[in-house]
Amino acid sequence: MADGWERALHQSPAQAPAGGGPPQGPAARPLDAVDRDILRILQTDGRASIRSVAERVHVSRANAYARINRLIDDGVIRGFSARVNHERAGQGASAYITLKIVQNSWRTVREQLQALPGAAHIALVSGDFDVLLLVHTPDNRTLRELVLTKLQSIPEVLSTRTLLVFEETDLDPDHLG
């Protein structure tokens, strides 16, 4: 168990605005080597206890607790989650979908994409398309319906391109720097 400190995440004053953008409030403070080590540990094991984190980064439990709460308050840590094997979880079809959208419609489109079943990640990007969407669905038939029926019925979506994911590999958090 993680000593209950993850409850602080739900009590953080740095709340994200309704549109899902960056947290409001003061700018995040610079991270030092201990903060980065804490982040790596929590990315690898979000259930790590305060005691374990403190021992591994060579600080007191009180210091580790305070640092984690500061990272939460500053919006550096946005949440804690499980890394899921989507195929074993019954979501055997995954795809990245690129979308071209009507200019200045990002907020409206984002809200509609967030409501899609299986939507896992949404990004506003630059380049040949405007939005990159990652979805996980039970099968290709469901994926087809999501693209042809749900996505293409959004008035602000001008075009889509679907890139099937054949295999995924989660990178070790140590590769993040």
pLDDT per residue over 151-173, tens digit each? 999 999 999 999 999 998 877 66
* Burial group, residue 127, by CB count within 10 angstroms (0-12, 13-18, 19+): exposed
Per residue in 79-138, pLDDT (tens digit) is 888 888 888 889 899 999 999 999 999 999 999 999 999 999 999 999 999 999 999 999
Instruction: Determine the pLDDT at residue 50.
Output: 95
Confidence band of 2 (pLDDT split at 50, 70, 90):
very low
Q: What is the pTM of this model?
A: 0.71
The rounded mean pLDDT for the chain is: 86
* Burial group, residue 54, by CB count within 10 angstroms (0-12, 13-18, 19+): buried
Q: For residues 139-156, give the mean pLDDT.
A: 96
